[in-house]
Amino acid sequence: MKRLLILGATGSIGTQALDVVARAPGAFELVGLSAERSHEALVAQARDHGVRRIAVSDPDAAARAAEAWTDGEVLAGPEGLVRLVAEAGADLVLNAIVGSAGLGPTIVALTEGIDVALANKESLVVGGELVMALCEATGAQLIPVDSEHSALHQLIAGERPGTVERLTLTASGGPFRGRSRAELSDVTVEAALRHPTWAMGGKITIDSATLMNKGLEVIEAHWLFGTPYDRIDVVVHPQSIVHALVGLCDGATLAHLGHPDMRVPIAYALHHPDRVDVPVRTLDLAQVGVLEFEPPDLDAFPCLRLAREAAAAGGTATCVLNAANEVAVHAFLSGRLGFMGIPAVIDATLAQLPAARVHSFDTLYRADAEARRVATESIEVRA
Ligand code: NAD
Ligand code: MG
């Protein structure tokens, strides 16, 4: 039995992971669950799955959880989350927290030598260099949950070092694929949340609409697989059937295909190195009929370009990019910023905070806080 800890259990990835766990009786012992503030849902999950320890990051919500649930222990605040990771005795931590708040728990798990099934791509966007150094130092493994990176992990697993030349990530193109920059200025929050192929949490759904999600994923792939940025391509593929491709030195290109369903990469990461049955539709290409591919439109979707520029600048730039994006997406979702304001705010924040060397995780926390302050100011000026 693998001792499994699920962080961000109440979210889109978290709930699908609990489904994967429930379908494999005897494979996992759930040693803890966490959420930010949705304490009722979290307590219900703990009851349903016989979990004895939960962490709730919001202190008020944690207090309410402790009143409602006396069958186990409720850890409170960001310190409680750290304690849960450090003390649960987990073999594997699924990090399904959204945003840079996921970095701390990733660091704690890896420092303890615990393998991490990583959905929280922001951990690598913000702290890729130090996170990978931690893996190297402790021998703990990062197993990607992001569908494209799970596909790459599987494709690369069979290849000898030095044979993989290029990585290609596919992007659905989001709900606004094909629109020009001018046609994007007045899109609504509701329209941006209507993703054509994947059902996901709010933040990543907006990231998919701006193509920032693919920019974050290029950075994620760079750190996970040690591939230089000029060898990581992005292609828009509206059907989301092909998840990623690898180009090999002999001219062969391998692709990973399947109907879009996050339970597949989640099951792969949780059961790794085993494979288990996942109840998904069999892929029938004749029925799918057409697979389309096109280049991303960087004029209409500048976030992908901004992510590539921050990646090239290195140091704290991707941390600043991520923090500015989180603040801008939040402002868009709450109606304080237009859709094209998202790249404008990120651009302004990056221009104001030049890339600096990363000496420690503390450098990153400071850069994150500074970028949030500058991005917030930039939004206020525009309002
Ligand atoms: P979500 O918003 O549905 O869920 C987020 C979870 O994290 C919730 O349980 C929430 O309580 C918790 N959380 C949020 N803020 C927190 C904080 N500050 N501290 C502690 N916990 C916090 O998000 P999601 O769509 O499940 O995405 C989770 C991560 O997985 C993201 O990094 C996302 O990019 C990545 N991802 C998601 C999908 C998907 O299909 N949803 C696919 C690929 C990658
Ligand atoms: Mg993805």
Q: What is the pLDDT of residues 185-205, one digit of tens each?
A: 999 999 999 988 888 999 999
- Phi and psi angles of residue 326, each rounded to the nearest 5 degrees, phi first: -60, -45
Going by alpha carbons, the residue nearest to atom 35 of ligand 1 is 119
Quickly state the pLDDT bin for 7 (edges 50, 70, 90): very high
Residue 146 CA to ligand 2 center (angstroms) comes to: 5
The residue whose CB lies within 8 Å of the most ligand 1 atoms, and thus the one to mutate among 6, 13, 195, is 13
Q: Starting from the CA of residue 262, give the closest ligand.
A: 1
How many other β-carbons are positioned within 10 Å of the β-carbon of residue 22? 12
Atom of ligand 1 nearest to the CA of 105: 20
Mean predicted lDDT score pLDDT of the chain: 97
Name every residue whose Cβ is closer than 8 Å to that of residue 343 and which is 6 or more positions away in sequence: 210, 302, 303, 306
The tens digit of pLDDT for each residue in 234-260 reads 999 999 999 999 999 999 999 999 999
Band (pLDDT 50/70/90 cuts) for residue 20 is very high
Q: Give the three-class secondary structure for 344.
A: helix
Protein residue with its CA nearest to atom 31 in ligand 1: 98
Closest by CA position to 174, among listed 209, 217, 139: 209
pLDDT digits (tens, 9 = 90+) for 84-143: 999 999 999 999 999 999 999 999 999 999 999 999 999 999 999 999 999 999 999 999
Radius of gyration of the CA atoms of the chain, in A: 20
In tens, the pLDDT along 338-353 reads 999 999 999 999 999 9
- Cα 323 to Cα 82: distance, rounded to the nearest angstrom: 21
Alpha-carbon distance of 299 to 302, in angstroms, equals: 6
Cα angle at 125 between 121 and 129, to 5 degrees? 115
Say which residues have a Cβ less than 8 Å from residue 33's Cβ, sequence separation at least 6: 5, 6, 7, 9, 14, 42, 45, 46, 49, 51, 53, 54, 55
- As a whole number, mean pLDDT of residues 264-285 equals 97
Quick check: helix, strand or coil at residue 27?
coil
| Ligand 1 close to Cβ of residue 14 (< 6 A) | yes
Which of 33, 98, 145, 262 best tests ligand 1's pocket when mutated (most atoms within 8 Å of CB)? 98
Percent of residues, the chain, with pLDDT higher than 90:
98
329 within ligand 1 shell (Cβ under 6 A): no
- Confidence band of 73 (pLDDT split at 50, 70, 90): very high
**This model's pTM is above 0.85:** yes
- CA-wise closest residue to 340 among 192, 174, 126: 192
